[in-house]
Structure 1
């Protein structure tokens, strides 16, 4: 499996679903489509026990494909299922606690950066990445212009990698890459497409291989 570190890479966000087995199969299919850096597994409306069970199903699939499995929000579940990392989205105090407790054993990244001031406050904590947008923010075909603008500003001046939420259309990945962001997150574009998840991941990687700007070594 290739690891194209010199250009924007794909992050998958597992969608909400009542069908755990179907979701696992679709995730496996997506990961077979080509390079995926990591997969974020949100809790959605599941209680802790149900979420842990779902994560126990998903995490080995992600890790077997060579991607990092990130649990959104629940550090206890992340530890129990031996995930690679934790995606935070709460107050800065919770981020501080997670970084102190889990880094460097686990990846700790965070969302919640709605503006430049907050992004810089987050940056002072040195998380492993910052996420611009919401995990379920792909409500339009294109990425949100505000998130693209934040990513372009951030990528030009801060070394901490950023992930930007793409839109519900896979073509939004290129617009994210053009900001200089290290990662583009896709959810509905991959898992609710008329095409197979595998085909979409392959297509996005082909576009990024061909057209995404290269990072300087």
Structure 2
């Protein structure tokens, strides 16, 4: 099987590791570090009221930086805060089809949770704006999960619909994600983990994208 054409991926940030007290400052820092395509705002165990407050705080920051703000799994919250779209994590074909019908093209609709080739292809038939391989909190190890790397590489080669690959917890393994050919790489702990300089992490990730694929199309 031939490798996918080189694509200079773009960065997606996942807020899952952020606590309430640090969320605003660390997100602002990350967004100051360079190109970010979108930010997925995740409840990460918060109740609906706490998540609403978090989203109200973070969505304008994301949009002011020129990135797309996506709300995970809560369409009502997404509407109330004026988010740019929603991200469904449940791997539910019926829910994805309903969201595409209800919210596109005004809002971005993406999804994750489809963990086999067959399921991913079925999900893609609903024409979301993207599919993501990996869980929002799936970056517990330094490197991306091997299954997600394989799915992203396969998908990028045969399907025009863009994909996001959930990266690992360390930028030291970012080259593996870049090599998959995925159009977007999502990072959570690698940018927002304890002791991480979030701005520097985003700068470094973008530098690695540029260095790994000089001249590749973004």
What TM-score does the superposition give when structure 2 sets the normalisation length?
A: 0.92
Deviation at 1:177, TM superposition (A): 1.5
Deviation at 1:195, TM superposition (A): 3.7
| RMSD, aligned CA | 1.5
- Name the SS for the 1:122 alignment partner: helix
- Name the SS for the 1:171 alignment partner: helix
CA distance in 1, matches of 2:148, 2:126: 20
Are residues 1:71 and 2:84 paired?
no
Ranges in structure 1 where 5+ consecutive residues have no aligned partner? 1-5
Closer/same/farther in 2, CA of residues 31 and 216 from structure 1, 3 Å limit: closer
Deviation at 1:44, TM superposition (A): 1.7
Deviation at 1:192, TM superposition (A): 1.2
Are residues 1:34 and 2:28 paired?
no
- Name the SS for the 2:186 alignment partner: strand
1:1-217 equivalences in 2 (<5 Å): 7-18=8-19, 20-90=20-90, 91-192=92-193, 194-212=195-213, 215=216
CA distance in 1, matches of 2:178, 2:146: 13
CA distance in 2, matches of 1:146, 1:212: 23
2:17, 2:192 within 8 Å by CA — same for their partners in 1?
no
Deviation at 1:16, TM superposition (A): 3.9
1:178, 1:212 within 8 Å by CA — same for their partners in 2?
no
Relative contact order (alpha carbons < 8 A, sep ≥ 6): 1 or 2 greater?
2
CA distance in 2, matches of 1:44, 1:195: 19
2:12, 2:40 within 8 Å by CA — same for their partners in 1?
yes
Deviation at 1:173, TM superposition (A): 2.5
What TM-score does the superposition give when structure 1 sets the normalisation length?
A: 0.93
Ranges in structure 2 where 5+ consecutive residues have no aligned partner? 1-6
